[in-house]
Protein backbone atom coordinates (compact mmCIF):
# COMPACT_ATOMS: atom_id res chain seq x y z
CA UNK A 1 0.00 0.00 0.00
CA UNK A 2 1.47 3.40 -0.91
CA UNK A 3 2.47 5.91 1.73
CA UNK A 4 -0.32 8.27 2.74
CA UNK A 5 0.64 11.76 1.59
CA UNK A 6 -2.52 13.47 2.80
CA UNK A 7 -5.17 12.66 5.43
CA UNK A 8 -7.79 10.21 4.15
CA UNK A 9 -10.76 12.57 4.40
CA UNK A 10 -12.70 11.09 1.52
CA UNK A 11 -13.69 7.62 0.35
CA UNK A 12 -13.45 5.94 -3.03
CA UNK A 13 -14.25 2.80 -5.02
CA UNK A 14 -12.32 1.59 -8.04
CA UNK A 15 -13.49 -0.85 -10.68
CA UNK A 16 -11.13 -2.41 -13.26
CA UNK A 17 -8.28 -1.64 -10.88
CA UNK A 18 -5.64 -3.48 -12.91
CA UNK A 19 -2.12 -3.04 -11.59
CA UNK A 20 -3.15 -0.15 -9.37
CA UNK A 21 -2.11 3.05 -11.16
CA UNK A 22 -5.36 4.92 -10.76
CA UNK A 23 -5.99 3.41 -7.32
CA UNK A 24 -2.65 4.73 -6.12
CA UNK A 25 -3.33 8.13 -7.68
CA UNK A 26 -6.73 8.43 -6.01
CA UNK A 27 -5.24 7.36 -2.69
CA UNK A 28 -2.48 9.96 -2.96
CA UNK A 29 -5.15 12.60 -3.52
CA UNK A 30 -6.62 11.82 -0.10
CA UNK A 31 -9.26 9.17 -0.85
CA UNK A 32 -9.54 6.00 1.26
CA UNK A 33 -10.50 2.97 -0.86
CA UNK A 34 -13.60 1.15 0.35
CA UNK A 35 -13.45 -1.41 -2.46
CA UNK A 36 -11.24 -2.45 -5.37
CA UNK A 37 -12.40 -4.85 -8.06
CA UNK A 38 -10.28 -6.59 -10.68
CA UNK A 39 -10.75 -9.69 -12.81
CA UNK A 40 -7.22 -10.65 -13.91
CA UNK A 41 -5.35 -12.85 -11.42
CA UNK A 42 -1.85 -11.40 -11.97
CA UNK A 43 -3.20 -7.87 -11.47
CA UNK A 44 -4.95 -8.98 -8.27
CA UNK A 45 -1.67 -10.53 -7.12
CA UNK A 46 -0.01 -7.15 -7.72
CA UNK A 47 -2.63 -5.35 -5.64
CA UNK A 48 -2.21 -7.86 -2.83
CA UNK A 49 1.59 -7.59 -3.01
CA UNK A 50 1.15 -3.87 -2.30
CA UNK A 51 -1.13 -4.24 0.69
CA UNK A 52 -4.66 -4.95 -0.55
CA UNK A 53 -6.44 -7.90 1.05
CA UNK A 54 -9.29 -10.09 -0.25
CA UNK A 55 -12.56 -8.76 1.13
CA UNK A 56 -14.29 -12.11 1.34
CA UNK A 57 -18.04 -12.52 1.17
CA UNK A 58 -18.90 -10.00 3.90
CA UNK A 59 -20.19 -6.69 2.58
CA UNK A 60 -19.01 -4.03 5.01
CA UNK A 61 -17.35 -0.63 5.16
CA UNK A 62 -13.69 -1.07 6.19
CA UNK A 63 -12.27 0.97 9.05
CA UNK A 64 -9.86 3.84 8.47
CA UNK A 65 -6.78 1.78 9.36
CA UNK A 66 -7.74 -1.36 7.46
CA UNK A 67 -6.03 -2.43 4.21
CA UNK A 68 -7.65 -1.90 0.84
CA UNK A 69 -10.43 -4.51 0.40
CA UNK A 70 -10.14 -6.36 -2.91
CA UNK A 71 -12.77 -8.43 -4.69
CA UNK A 72 -11.36 -10.57 -7.49
CA UNK A 73 -13.85 -11.56 -10.15
CA UNK A 74 -16.21 -10.41 -12.87
CA UNK A 75 -17.57 -6.93 -12.16
CA UNK A 76 -20.93 -8.09 -13.48
CA UNK A 77 -21.25 -10.31 -10.41
CA UNK A 78 -20.28 -7.56 -7.97
CA UNK A 79 -22.98 -6.14 -5.69
CA UNK A 80 -22.28 -2.60 -4.48
CA UNK A 81 -25.53 -1.41 -2.91
CA UNK A 82 -24.07 -1.62 0.60
CA UNK A 83 -21.81 1.33 -0.34
CA UNK A 84 -24.66 3.70 -1.22
CA UNK A 85 -24.15 7.15 0.28
CA UNK A 86 -20.62 6.33 1.46
CA UNK A 87 -18.56 7.08 -1.65
CA UNK A 88 -17.10 10.40 -2.73
CA UNK A 89 -15.39 9.12 -5.88
CA UNK A 90 -15.99 6.18 -8.18
CA UNK A 91 -13.01 5.64 -10.48
CA UNK A 92 -12.11 3.19 -13.19
CA UNK A 93 -10.91 2.58 -16.69
CA UNK A 94 -13.41 0.21 -18.34
CA UNK A 95 -11.61 -2.21 -20.70
CA UNK A 96 -10.68 -0.18 -23.73
CA UNK A 97 -10.05 -2.80 -26.42
CA UNK A 98 -13.43 -2.23 -28.10
CA UNK A 99 -12.37 1.34 -28.89
CA UNK A 100 -8.61 1.16 -29.25
CA UNK A 101 -6.90 1.92 -32.54
CA UNK A 102 -4.83 -1.16 -31.81
CA UNK A 103 -7.75 -3.33 -30.81
CA UNK A 104 -10.42 -5.22 -32.67
CA UNK A 105 -12.51 -2.05 -33.12
CA UNK A 106 -15.95 -3.55 -32.64
CA UNK A 107 -17.07 -0.68 -30.45
CA UNK A 108 -20.34 -1.18 -28.63
CA UNK A 109 -20.82 -4.62 -30.14
CA UNK A 110 -17.81 -5.98 -28.27
CA UNK A 111 -18.71 -7.91 -25.13
CA UNK A 112 -15.68 -6.43 -23.39
CA UNK A 113 -17.38 -3.02 -23.34
CA UNK A 114 -17.73 -2.48 -19.60
CA UNK A 115 -19.15 1.04 -19.57
CA UNK A 116 -22.60 -0.37 -18.69
CA UNK A 117 -21.08 -1.72 -15.47
CA UNK A 118 -19.79 1.74 -14.56
CA UNK A 119 -23.33 3.08 -15.00
CA UNK A 120 -24.73 0.27 -12.84
CA UNK A 121 -22.18 1.08 -10.16
CA UNK A 122 -23.28 4.72 -10.21
CA UNK A 123 -26.90 3.68 -9.72
CA UNK A 124 -26.03 1.43 -6.80
CA UNK A 125 -23.44 3.68 -5.10
CA UNK A 126 -24.60 7.19 -6.09
CA UNK A 127 -21.09 8.66 -5.70
CA UNK A 128 -20.51 12.39 -5.57
CA UNK A 129 -17.99 12.20 -8.43
CA UNK A 130 -16.79 9.82 -11.15
CA UNK A 131 -13.53 9.53 -13.07
CA UNK A 132 -13.26 7.33 -16.18
CA UNK A 133 -10.09 6.97 -18.27
CA UNK A 134 -9.92 5.46 -21.72
CA UNK A 135 -8.14 5.54 -25.07
CA UNK A 136 -8.41 8.27 -27.71
CA UNK A 137 -9.93 5.67 -30.00
CA UNK A 138 -13.25 6.62 -28.44
CA UNK A 139 -13.06 9.78 -30.53
CA UNK A 140 -12.53 8.08 -33.89
CA UNK A 141 -15.17 9.26 -36.37
CA UNK A 142 -16.66 5.77 -36.57
CA UNK A 143 -17.13 5.67 -32.77
CA UNK A 144 -17.87 9.34 -32.07
CA UNK A 145 -21.69 8.96 -32.12
CA UNK A 146 -21.42 6.06 -29.69
CA UNK A 147 -19.03 7.98 -27.45
CA UNK A 148 -21.51 10.87 -27.29
CA UNK A 149 -24.08 8.28 -26.26
CA UNK A 150 -21.75 7.08 -23.48
CA UNK A 151 -21.51 10.64 -22.18
CA UNK A 152 -25.29 10.92 -22.14
CA UNK A 153 -25.56 7.59 -20.33
CA UNK A 154 -23.19 8.93 -17.71
CA UNK A 155 -25.30 12.06 -17.47
CA UNK A 156 -28.42 9.95 -16.88
CA UNK A 157 -27.22 6.65 -15.35
CA UNK A 158 -30.62 5.96 -13.78
CA UNK A 159 -32.32 5.85 -17.18
CA UNK A 160 -31.61 2.17 -17.79
CA UNK A 161 -31.56 0.79 -21.29
CA UNK A 162 -34.26 -1.70 -22.23
CA UNK A 163 -32.50 -5.00 -23.07
CA UNK A 164 -34.49 -5.12 -26.30
CA UNK A 165 -33.62 -1.57 -27.36
CA UNK A 166 -30.73 -0.60 -29.59
CA UNK A 167 -28.29 2.02 -28.33
CA UNK A 168 -29.71 4.45 -30.90
CA UNK A 169 -33.20 4.01 -29.47
CA UNK A 170 -31.91 4.51 -25.95
CA UNK A 171 -29.89 7.54 -27.04
CA UNK A 172 -33.05 9.16 -28.39
CA UNK A 173 -34.64 8.79 -24.95
CA UNK A 174 -31.59 10.33 -23.28
CA UNK A 175 -31.59 13.28 -25.66
CA UNK A 176 -35.20 13.99 -24.80
CA UNK A 177 -34.42 13.67 -21.09
CA UNK A 178 -31.75 16.37 -21.38
CA UNK A 179 -34.50 18.85 -22.11
CA UNK A 180 -36.82 17.64 -19.36
CA UNK A 181 -34.69 16.91 -16.29
CA UNK A 182 -33.44 19.59 -13.92
CA UNK A 183 -29.67 19.93 -13.84
CA UNK A 184 -29.70 19.83 -10.04
CA UNK A 185 -31.25 16.37 -9.85
CA UNK A 186 -29.35 13.78 -7.76
CA UNK A 187 -30.05 11.30 -10.57
CA UNK A 188 -28.32 13.49 -13.15
CA UNK A 189 -24.57 14.08 -13.42
CA UNK A 190 -22.63 17.00 -14.86
CA UNK A 191 -20.17 15.48 -17.29
CA UNK A 192 -16.82 16.91 -18.47
CA UNK A 193 -14.56 15.43 -21.13
CA UNK A 194 -10.81 16.06 -21.37
CA UNK A 195 -8.54 14.98 -24.22
CA UNK A 196 -5.08 14.78 -22.71
CA UNK A 197 -1.50 13.82 -23.48
CA UNK A 198 0.14 12.52 -20.31
CA UNK A 199 3.42 14.19 -21.32
CA UNK A 200 1.73 17.57 -20.82
CA UNK A 201 1.37 16.73 -17.10
CA UNK A 202 4.95 15.67 -16.39
CA UNK A 203 4.62 11.99 -17.32
CA UNK A 204 7.72 10.94 -19.33
CA UNK A 205 5.59 9.34 -22.01
CA UNK A 206 3.48 10.32 -25.01
CA UNK A 207 0.15 8.86 -23.97
CA UNK A 208 -3.03 10.30 -25.50
CA UNK A 209 -6.15 9.53 -23.54
CA UNK A 210 -9.70 10.67 -22.81
CA UNK A 211 -10.58 11.36 -19.20
CA UNK A 212 -14.20 11.84 -18.22
CA UNK A 213 -15.10 13.53 -14.94
CA UNK A 214 -18.65 13.76 -13.63
CA UNK A 215 -20.28 15.29 -10.54
CA UNK A 216 -23.70 14.51 -9.11
CA UNK A 217 -26.19 17.12 -10.18
CA UNK A 218 -27.37 18.07 -6.70
CA UNK A 219 -23.88 19.35 -5.82
CA UNK A 220 -23.32 23.04 -6.41
CA UNK A 221 -19.92 22.69 -8.08
CA UNK A 222 -17.71 25.42 -9.50
CA UNK A 223 -16.45 23.96 -12.78
CA UNK A 224 -13.76 26.64 -13.12
CA UNK A 225 -11.95 24.99 -10.18
CA UNK A 226 -11.94 21.71 -12.09
CA UNK A 227 -10.73 23.22 -15.35
CA UNK A 228 -8.01 25.27 -13.66
CA UNK A 229 -6.79 22.23 -11.73
CA UNK A 230 -6.34 20.06 -14.83
CA UNK A 231 -4.55 22.57 -17.06
CA UNK A 232 -1.38 21.26 -18.71
CA UNK A 233 1.86 22.07 -16.91
CA UNK A 234 4.55 20.81 -19.35
CA UNK A 235 5.22 21.30 -23.06
CA UNK A 236 7.30 20.11 -25.99
CA UNK A 237 8.49 23.63 -26.79
CA UNK A 238 9.75 24.07 -23.24
CA UNK A 239 11.76 20.85 -23.61
CA UNK A 240 13.28 22.13 -26.83
CA UNK A 241 14.14 25.43 -25.16
CA UNK A 242 15.76 23.53 -22.30
CA UNK A 243 17.86 21.51 -24.75
CA UNK A 244 19.00 24.61 -26.65
CA UNK A 245 19.77 26.63 -23.53
CA UNK A 246 21.76 23.76 -22.04
CA UNK A 247 19.59 23.55 -18.94
CA UNK A 248 18.56 20.01 -19.87
CA UNK A 249 22.17 18.86 -20.30
CA UNK A 250 23.10 20.41 -16.95
CA UNK A 251 20.66 17.94 -15.45
CA UNK A 252 22.52 15.13 -17.20
CA UNK A 253 26.18 16.15 -16.97
CA UNK A 254 27.56 12.67 -17.69
CA UNK A 255 26.06 12.46 -21.21
CA UNK A 256 28.87 12.31 -23.77
CA UNK A 257 29.40 15.23 -26.14
CA UNK A 258 28.79 13.11 -29.24
CA UNK A 259 25.39 12.15 -27.83
CA UNK A 260 24.48 15.78 -27.11
CA UNK A 261 25.62 16.80 -30.61
CA UNK A 262 23.53 14.01 -32.16
CA UNK A 263 20.42 15.09 -30.25
CA UNK A 264 20.92 18.77 -31.01
CA UNK A 265 21.36 18.08 -34.73
CA UNK A 266 17.94 16.49 -34.74
CA UNK A 267 16.33 19.68 -33.45
CA UNK A 268 16.76 21.52 -36.75
CA UNK A 269 13.40 20.42 -38.09
CA UNK A 270 11.60 20.60 -34.78
CA UNK A 271 8.81 23.05 -33.94
CA UNK A 272 9.93 26.69 -33.49
CA UNK A 273 10.26 28.29 -30.11
CA UNK A 274 7.58 30.59 -28.75
CA UNK A 275 7.52 33.01 -25.83
CA UNK A 276 4.04 31.85 -24.97
CA UNK A 277 5.50 28.56 -23.72
CA UNK A 278 7.54 30.17 -20.90
CA UNK A 279 4.88 29.30 -18.33
CA UNK A 280 5.35 25.57 -18.96
CA UNK A 281 7.92 23.15 -17.63
CA UNK A 282 9.81 20.97 -20.13
CA UNK A 283 8.37 17.62 -21.08
CA UNK A 284 10.06 14.94 -18.98
CA UNK A 285 12.11 12.50 -21.01
CA UNK A 286 12.96 8.83 -20.83
CA UNK A 287 16.44 9.85 -19.68
CA UNK A 288 14.86 11.91 -16.87
CA UNK A 289 12.82 8.89 -15.79
CA UNK A 290 15.77 6.49 -15.79
CA UNK A 291 17.83 9.04 -13.84
CA UNK A 292 15.03 9.41 -11.28
CA UNK A 293 14.85 13.16 -11.74
CA UNK A 294 11.71 14.91 -10.47
CA UNK A 295 10.55 11.69 -8.82
CA UNK A 296 12.93 11.33 -5.86
CA UNK A 297 14.21 7.97 -7.13
CA UNK A 298 17.79 6.80 -7.45
CA UNK A 299 19.21 6.50 -10.98
CA UNK A 300 18.68 3.07 -12.49
CA UNK A 301 22.04 1.44 -13.22
CA UNK A 302 22.98 0.75 -16.82
CA UNK A 303 22.14 -2.69 -18.18
CA UNK A 304 25.34 -4.15 -19.60
CA UNK A 305 25.17 -5.82 -22.99
CA UNK A 306 26.20 -9.21 -21.57
CA UNK A 307 23.17 -9.12 -19.28
CA UNK A 308 20.38 -9.24 -21.86
CA UNK A 309 19.67 -12.72 -20.53
CA UNK A 310 16.38 -12.61 -18.55
CA UNK A 311 18.24 -12.89 -15.23
CA UNK A 312 17.39 -10.86 -12.11
CA UNK A 313 20.84 -10.03 -10.74
CA UNK A 314 21.32 -9.33 -7.05
CA UNK A 315 23.05 -6.03 -7.74
CA UNK A 316 20.17 -4.68 -9.88
CA UNK A 317 16.83 -3.21 -8.73
CA UNK A 318 13.83 -5.52 -8.85
CA UNK A 319 12.47 -5.91 -12.41
CA UNK A 320 15.46 -4.09 -13.89
CA UNK A 321 16.16 -7.17 -16.00
CA UNK A 322 17.78 -7.19 -19.43
CA UNK A 323 15.86 -8.96 -22.19
CA UNK A 324 17.27 -10.28 -25.50
CA UNK A 325 16.26 -9.87 -29.14
CA UNK A 326 15.09 -6.27 -29.18
CA UNK A 327 14.54 -5.20 -32.80
CA UNK A 328 13.89 -2.02 -34.73
CA UNK A 329 12.71 -1.82 -38.32
CA UNK A 330 10.38 0.34 -40.46
CA UNK A 331 7.15 0.80 -38.56
CA UNK A 332 8.76 -0.33 -35.30
CA UNK A 333 10.80 2.67 -34.23
CA UNK A 334 12.63 2.87 -30.89
CA UNK A 335 12.21 5.10 -27.89
CA UNK A 336 14.67 8.00 -27.75
CA UNK A 337 16.28 8.84 -24.42
CA UNK A 338 15.89 12.60 -24.79
CA UNK A 339 12.19 12.55 -25.64
CA UNK A 340 9.24 11.25 -23.66
CA UNK A 341 8.86 7.52 -24.23
CA UNK A 342 6.34 6.18 -26.71
CA UNK A 343 3.06 4.87 -25.32
CA UNK A 344 3.54 1.78 -23.17
CA UNK A 345 1.13 -0.77 -24.66
CA UNK A 346 -0.56 -3.84 -23.26
CA UNK A 347 0.19 -5.97 -26.30
CA UNK A 348 -3.25 -6.51 -27.87
CA UNK A 349 -1.65 -7.68 -31.12
CA UNK A 350 1.60 -9.10 -29.79
CA UNK A 351 3.89 -9.59 -26.84
CA UNK A 352 3.24 -7.07 -24.04
CA UNK A 353 6.14 -4.64 -24.06
CA UNK A 354 7.19 -5.80 -27.52
CA UNK A 355 7.33 -2.21 -28.77
CA UNK A 356 9.33 -0.95 -25.79
CA UNK A 357 12.70 -0.82 -27.53
CA UNK A 358 15.07 2.06 -26.75
CA UNK A 359 18.17 3.53 -28.34
CA UNK A 360 21.07 3.79 -25.90
CA UNK A 361 24.10 6.08 -25.79
CA UNK A 362 26.40 3.23 -26.90
CA UNK A 363 27.81 3.66 -30.41
CA UNK A 364 28.94 0.78 -32.59
CA UNK A 365 30.30 0.51 -36.10
CA UNK A 366 27.59 0.04 -38.66
CA UNK A 367 26.68 0.50 -42.30
CA UNK A 368 24.95 3.82 -41.85
CA UNK A 369 26.45 6.99 -43.43
CA UNK A 370 28.02 9.40 -43.00
CA UNK A 371 30.02 8.38 -39.92
CA UNK A 372 29.66 4.63 -40.19
CA UNK A 373 28.43 4.65 -36.59
CA UNK A 374 25.05 3.88 -35.09
CA UNK A 375 23.56 3.57 -31.61
CA UNK A 376 22.78 0.20 -30.03
CA UNK A 377 19.28 -0.64 -28.91
CA UNK A 378 17.65 -2.99 -26.42
CA UNK A 379 14.32 -3.67 -24.79
CA UNK A 380 13.38 -1.43 -21.90
CA UNK A 381 13.28 -3.25 -18.59
CA UNK A 382 10.03 -3.61 -16.66
CA UNK A 383 11.38 -1.17 -14.07
CA UNK A 384 12.14 1.42 -16.76
CA UNK A 385 8.61 1.01 -18.15
CA UNK A 386 7.20 1.37 -14.64
CA UNK A 387 9.06 4.66 -14.24
CA UNK A 388 7.67 5.83 -17.57
CA UNK A 389 4.22 5.10 -16.09
CA UNK A 390 5.30 7.05 -12.93
CA UNK A 391 4.95 4.04 -10.64
CA UNK A 392 7.36 4.34 -7.69
CA UNK A 393 10.12 1.74 -7.43
CA UNK A 394 8.49 0.50 -4.21
CA UNK A 395 5.43 -0.71 -6.15
CA UNK A 396 5.68 -4.47 -6.65
CA UNK A 397 4.47 -6.06 -9.90
CA UNK A 398 3.42 -9.72 -9.97
CA UNK A 399 3.60 -12.31 -12.71
CA UNK A 400 6.03 -13.05 -15.55
CA UNK A 401 7.56 -10.20 -17.54
CA UNK A 402 4.82 -10.18 -20.17
CA UNK A 403 2.08 -9.89 -17.54
CA UNK A 404 3.91 -7.10 -15.74
CA UNK A 405 4.20 -5.18 -19.00
CA UNK A 406 0.52 -5.84 -19.71
CA UNK A 407 -0.44 -4.36 -16.34
CA UNK A 408 1.67 -1.29 -17.02
CA UNK A 409 0.28 -0.88 -20.54
CA UNK A 410 -3.29 -1.03 -19.23
CA UNK A 411 -2.65 1.32 -16.30
CA UNK A 412 -3.28 5.02 -15.81
CA UNK A 413 0.04 6.82 -15.22
CA UNK A 414 0.03 7.55 -11.50
CA UNK A 415 0.97 11.20 -11.94
CA UNK A 416 -1.76 11.82 -14.52
CA UNK A 417 -4.38 10.12 -12.38
CA UNK A 418 -3.30 12.14 -9.36
CA UNK A 419 -3.84 15.43 -11.23
CA UNK A 420 -7.47 14.55 -11.91
CA UNK A 421 -8.12 13.00 -8.49
CA UNK A 422 -6.68 16.12 -6.85
CA UNK A 423 -8.95 18.24 -9.04
CA UNK A 424 -12.02 16.29 -7.91
CA UNK A 425 -10.96 16.71 -4.27
CA UNK A 426 -10.60 20.48 -4.75
CA UNK A 427 -14.06 20.75 -6.29
CA UNK A 428 -15.65 18.73 -3.47
CA UNK A 429 -13.77 20.77 -0.86
CA UNK A 430 -15.17 23.95 -2.40
CA UNK A 431 -18.70 22.55 -2.31
CA UNK A 432 -18.35 21.77 1.40
CA UNK A 433 -16.75 25.10 2.23
CA UNK A 434 -19.64 26.98 0.60
CA UNK A 435 -22.35 24.84 2.17
- pLDDT tens for 292-346 read 987 789 999 999 999 999 999 999 999 999 999 998 888 788 999 999 999 998 8
80, 96, 150, 425: which one is catalytic?
96
Lowest mean pLDDT among 104-108, 112-116, 188-192, 293-297: 104-108
Assess if CATH 3.90.120 describes domain 234-408: yes
44 is catalytic: no
Q: Do 18 and 38 contact (CB within 8 A), yes or no?
A: yes
Q: Do 59 and 79 contact (CB within 8 A), yes or no?
A: yes
| Domain boundary assignment for the chain | 10-232+412-434, 234-408
Q: What is the pTM of this model?
A: 0.92
**Domain 234-408 in the same topology as domain 10-232+412-434:** no
- In the CATH scheme, what architecture does the domain 10-232+412-434 have? 3-Layer(aba) Sandwich (3.40)
- pLDDT tens for 372-421 read 568 999 999 999 999 999 999 999 999 999 999 999 999 999 999 999 99
Which residues, including other chains, have CB under 8 Å from residue 103's CB and lie 6 or more apart? 96, 97, 137, 348
Cα dihedral 90/95/101/102 (nearest 10): 140
pLDDT score of 351 more than 70:
no
- pLDDT tens for 187-230 read 999 999 999 999 999 999 999 999 999 999 999 999 999 999 99
- pLDDT tens for 67-78 read 999 999 999 999
Can you tell me whether residue 102 is helix, strand or coil?
coil
Q: Which of 56-65, 121-130, 238-247, 330-339 has maximum average pLDDT?
A: 121-130
pLDDT score of 2 more than 50:
no
Cα dihedral 220/223/228/231 (nearest 10): 140
Q: Do 32 and 65 contact (CB within 8 A), yes or no?
A: no
Amino acid sequence: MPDERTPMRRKSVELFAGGGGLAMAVHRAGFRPLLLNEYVKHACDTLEANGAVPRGEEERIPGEDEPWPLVQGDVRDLKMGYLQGEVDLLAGGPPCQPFSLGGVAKGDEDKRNMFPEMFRAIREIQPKAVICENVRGLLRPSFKPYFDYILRELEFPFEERDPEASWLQHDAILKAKQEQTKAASHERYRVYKFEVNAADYGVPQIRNRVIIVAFRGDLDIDETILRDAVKATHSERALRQSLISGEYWARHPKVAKHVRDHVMAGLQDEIPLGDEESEFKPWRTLRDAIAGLDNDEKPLPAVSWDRLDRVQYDDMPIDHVGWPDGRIYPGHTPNLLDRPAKTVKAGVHGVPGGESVMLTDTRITGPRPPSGLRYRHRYMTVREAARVMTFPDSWKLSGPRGEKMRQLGNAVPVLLGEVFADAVAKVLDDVENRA
